[in-house]
Each structure stands twice: as structure tokens, then as C-alpha cells.
Amino acid sequence: MQTASHVLAIDQGTTSTRAILFDRDARPVASAQRELRQFYPADGWVEHDAEDIWNDTVAVMRAALEKAGLGAHAVAAIGITNQRETTVLWDRRTGEPVHNAIVWQDRRTADLCRRLTADGAEPMVCERTGLLIDPYFSATKLRWLLDTVPGARDRAERGELAFGTVDCFLLWRLTGGRVHATDASNASRTLLFDIRKQDWDDDLLRLFGVPRSVLPHVLDNAADFGVAEAAVLGARIPVTGMAGDQQAATVGQACFQPGMIKSTYGTGCFALLNVGDTFVPSKHRMLTTVAYRFGGKPTYAIEGSIFVAGAAVQWLRDGLRLIPDAASSEYHARELPDTGGVYLVPAFTGLGAPHWDPDARGAILGLTRDSGLAHVVRAALESVGYQTRDLMEAMSTDGGTAPEALRVDGGMVVNDWVCQFLADILGVAVERPDVTETTALGAAYLAGMQAGVYGGLDAISAAWRCQRRFEPRMDAAVRDRLYAGWRAALARVRSR
């Protein structure tokens, strides 16, 4: 019989689902991935079919094991990491979702959020959750489902329905409906969880109209979440790690000391600054969130969330058909010395931190007769750097000091041009690790720690390796001029 020395990480993202198998040295052995269908039923609305998510998850797990030539008995544990805030409501008896999943990018509840803010609810919400009232988070999405799907609220009150973010839904399906649980990092993104008391909050539940009966149990990030049924992979495998994608990347990047910061570039961009075991409220409309929780004790982070990063490149490829693939964006960016004053503000679903403007919309500005394909492509890539600087300036003030380096990961950072531009526009070193898929790695670390495959946080820190460090090269005056142009472009698309 094969020795159970591997960890299988499920990385369920916004645009794709993947599984990566890691060995006992936390090295990736095999992976499989499937793109996820996107649904846009109305302006600003984004949905996923939760059944697609489940079917893709099973398929990529099986494919990764097949590629590795291993059976389920070789897997000691499963870790789950997921797109956060995306909201699923399902029938407890059948496991069937009552509606498509409402994706974190979705803005359908913007009017409700405005009403709650106008009624003065935001200070209490921010004080307890560390978040702002925004359609981004799960609570108003859940309320929309309860109020809109016929019979949903009555069924929920009777205890017939279960709510969860994607991690919770996958765990339910993996365990055959035996476990309804989530972790502290995902719970902290719902607007319903008091991150100081580490519990669901009755005042918040009343504010958002959510019955407690639909909520999952909340566990540490490394915990015994349940056991996947043998029907899934061929053997019963414990699920022992779970974290939202950005918190998992924080673990994968070994950002365990206060002042360390990582930024993940996938569909969106999310930067987390470790601030230790004390809740630090932001003064610049950033978020305070749970970075991770072990032994019931949370470590906090200040987070900046950009809704569109890699999604801008995807739009160039699929929407405008300017490029055949993401890799070609680097070629076009290098064609030019600059964008010639062209700026692309990718506010396709509003603006995230630190602006929080759900009604802003995207624009390409500064076009002239000389502007061409390469200018637009480069402007899209540059927008990622500018948005990151927006975050870093706010976070540095909240955190007290500017970071010495930014650890980066995610699909976009295989692009050397993007990494160098980040270093140039931020004025700090950018460090790219050996393993850029740190979200999956973090999920594997969490599961492996609980299962006894990997050591603790000190061992993870010692194992982190920098593959390449990008130092700033741009003259400070050029940096400031380019950023001033971005701020002017941003002002043109703001709704307020």
C-alpha cells in the first residue's frame, strides 16, 4: 500500500478550479486545472453555477492524482482554498443550490449597501467585522437570495437551507453532507462575523436579515474539518486545512511577522499586511481581516482589495480579442518605451480599496491617433501597478511604516515586465518566490500541518525561497509623474 505522505490542495478560484498535489517536502508533483464558466445576467452581476464548481473540483483532483501515478491512499490530507465572499445557498437534504452562486465581484446589492450606510450602520459594522458595507461581501448577497428566491426565507427559518462560501459548499459535498463548517478567514469576509470575539454576531444578523440557522460552524485554519467520502477519490481522506485564497497565499508566502506583506495577482489583486495579534482599524478605508487562526487565536491583517488585475488581461484576450493569450501581453508591453499617456482604468465592476465606488466603470483615457494595440495592452498591465500603489500608500500609513519588500505571487507574476513595473512604480523591491502558486501551497501547508506531514510556521518560513528579486530602476520624478496621471484618470471614472 502507498504511504500517505502527499497533500492534495484544492484551489477553487474565480475563473478556474485547480488541484495541486504536493509531496512531503511541499514540492508540487502534479496539477490539473479547468476554466470556470462565468455568467453575467445583468450589468454588474456575476454568477457561477455551484454544480460546475463541484464537478470541476472532483475532476481536477482525480486528474492530478492520475498525472502523478498515485492513488488516493497516497494522500494524507486535503486542503481547500477558495474565492472568498462568493455566496452559495443550498438545500440541506439534497445538497442542491437554490440559485447560482453570487460571485464576490457582483454589485447587485449596491442600493441596499447605500441605504444601510445612509442609515448609519457602517461604524458598528466596521468596528465588529473590520470591513465596510459593500456589495463585495457575503451578507447582502445572502440577503438578496433569501428575499428573492421564492420560498427561500421561509425555508431558511425552518432550518432547511445552508449558507456557505465556496470552501464550505465543497466541504459539505466532500463529506456527503455530514459537515457544515468554514474557517475563521472565510467567516471574517461575510460581514456577519465579529473578528474580535471570533463568533457570529446577533446584531449583524439582525441588520442584514440573516437567520442564524443557515450559518456554518467556524474552525481554525488548520483543523479536523471532516473526511471526504471514498466515492470522491477512491478512499476516505481527511480534510484538515482551509483558508480563503488570500489568507492561504499569506501562509504560502510565510508572512508570519508583523510588517510583512504579500500581494497576489490573479483575477483581482489582494495585498495583506500582517499586523499581529491586535485588531488595527484602518484610517484609510482599507479592511482589517483575519490573516489566520491557530489554537483559537487570530492573527490580523490589513488588506487592500483590487477587483480587476489579471481579469483585465483576460478581457483584452476574450473581450477585445487584442491578444491571443496572456503571455503575449509582456511582448506588447516591451514594444514601447511608455504608453504615450494612455491609461486604462479597469473599473469593470466598480472600484475596490481604498476607493470603494461600486458605480465607477472602466475607461481607456488619453488616446490619440498614434495610439495602438500595444499602448492599450501596456496600459492594462500598468493599471495593476498603479492600483497596487493606491493600496500600498494607504496600508503604509495604517501599518506605520513602509515595507522593505513586497512578496508577490499568482498567475500574473510569471510576467517579468509586470514585476519590474511594480518595483518601479512602488519604489520598493519585489520578491517572487520559487513557487508562485502560493495560494495552493498555503492550503497544502495548513492541511499538512494538521495531518503531521509538515512542520509548523517556523519550518514554513525556513522553506520559503526567493526565485528573483526585482529592484526599482525608475527615476523618482518619472514615477511620480506617471502616478499623477493615473490619479487624474481615476478621477474621471469615479461616480462620486
Q: What is the pLDDT of residues 447-486, one digit of tens each?
A: 999 999 998 999 999 999 999 999 999 999 999 999 999 9
Confidence of residue 2 (pLDDT cuts 50, 70, 90): low
Instruction: Tell whether 106 and 185 lie within a shared domain.
Output: yes
Q: For residue 475, give the amino acid letter.
A: D
Domain boundary among 246, 264, 286: 246
438 found inside a domain: no
Taking only the tens place, the pLDDT of each residue in 117-130 is 999 999 999 999 99
Residue 88 DSSP label? E
Rounded to whole angstroms, how far apart are CA atoms 250 and 341? 35
Instruction: Tell whether 476 and 337 lie within a shared domain.
Output: yes
Rounded to whole angstroms, how far apart are CA atoms 161 and 240? 25
Residue 365, H or E segment:
strand 363-365
- Find cell 464576490 and name the residue: 104
DSSP-based three-state secondary structure for 83: coil
Instruction: Tell whether 162 and 291 lie within a shared domain.
Output: no
pLDDT of residue 401: 67
440 found inside a domain: no
Instruction: Tell whether 216 and 351 lie within a shared domain.
Output: no
Average pLDDT over residues 92-112: 94
329 found inside a domain: yes
Average pLDDT over residues 12-23: 94
C-alpha cell at 225: 474539518
pLDDT of residue 310: 84
278 found inside a domain: yes
More confident site: 167 or 285? 167
Taking only the tens place, the pLDDT of each residue in 149-162 is 999 999 999 999 99
Instruction: Tell whether 205 and 177 lie within a shared domain.
Output: yes
pLDDT of residue 417: 93
More confident site: 172 or 326? 172
Give yes or no for a contact between 410 and 266, defined as CB atoms under 8 angstroms apart.
yes
Rounded to whole angstroms, how far apart are CA atoms 57 and 494? 38
Instruction: Tell whether 143 and 163 lie within a shared domain.
Output: yes
Query: What are residue 351's DSSP bridge partners?
Result: 357
Instruction: Tell whether 489 and 394 lie within a shared domain.
Output: yes
* Portion of the chain with pLDDT greater than 90, in percent: 75
Average pLDDT over residues 300-317: 88
Output the average pLDDT for the chain: 92
Give yes or no for a contact between 209 and 143, defined as CB atoms under 8 angstroms apart.
yes
The total number of structural domains that make up the chain: 2
Instruction: Tell whether 91 and 211 lie within a shared domain.
Output: yes
Confidence of residue 197 (pLDDT cuts 50, 70, 90): very high
Domain boundary among 246, 276, 301: 246
Please give the angle made by the CA atoms of 184, 53 and 362, to the nearest 5 degrees: 85
Q: Which of 122, 114, 8 is nearest to 65 (CA)?
A: 8
Domain boundary among 218, 246, 274: 246
CATH number at residue 322: 3.30.420.40
Give yes or no for a contact between 45 and 100, defined as CB atoms under 8 angstroms apart.
no
Q: How far, in whole angstroms, is CA 366 from its chain's centroid? A: 31
Highest mean pLDDT among 191-205, 381-395, 424-438: 191-205
Q: What is the dihedral of CA 254, 420, 362, 48, to 10 degrees?
A: -40
Q: Is residue 398 scored above 80 in pLDDT?
A: no
Instruction: Tell whether 347 and 381 lie within a shared domain.
Output: yes
Confidence of residue 168 (pLDDT cuts 50, 70, 90): very high
More confident site: 88 or 402? 88
310 found inside a domain: yes
pLDDT of residue 397: 75
Average pLDDT over residues 282-294: 89
Query: What are residue 306's DSSP bridge partners?
Result: 269
pLDDT of residue 163: 98
454 found inside a domain: no
Q: List the domain range (segments joined by +) for residue 214.
A: 6-246
Give yes or no for a contact between 360 and 394, defined as CB atoms under 8 angstroms apart.
no
Confidence of residue 176 (pLDDT cuts 50, 70, 90): very high
Confidence of residue 496 (pLDDT cuts 50, 70, 90): low
453 found inside a domain: no
Instruction: Tell whether 298 and 226 lie within a shared domain.
Output: no
Q: How far, in whole angstroms, is CA 205 from its chain's centroid? A: 24
CA dist list (Å): 335 to 306, 329, 338, 378, 478: 27, 10, 9, 9, 19
Give yes or no for a contact between 135 and 84, defined as CB atoms under 8 angstroms apart.
no
Residue 240, H or E segment:
strand 237-244
Q: Is residue 74 scored above 80 in pLDDT?
A: yes
Instruction: Tell whether 188 and 284 lie within a shared domain.
Output: no
Residue 216, H or E segment:
none
373 found inside a domain: yes
Query: Between helices 138-148 and 110-118, what is the axis angle to 10°?
Result: 110
Q: Is residue 1 scored above 60 in pLDDT?
A: no
Q: Is residue 96 scored above 70 in pLDDT?
A: yes
User: 81-95, 189-203, 390-404 — which is least confidently predicted?
Assistant: 390-404
pLDDT of residue 286: 85
Rounded to whole angstroms, how far apart are CA atoms 198 and 203? 14
Instruction: Tell whether 152 and 269 lie within a shared domain.
Output: no
Q: Which of 260, 323, 250, 319 is nearest to 291 (CA)?
A: 250
* Portion of the chain with pLDDT greater than 70, in percent: 98
Rounded to whole angstroms, how far apart are CA atoms 421 and 88? 37
Rounded to whole angstroms, how far apart are CA atoms 303 and 288? 6
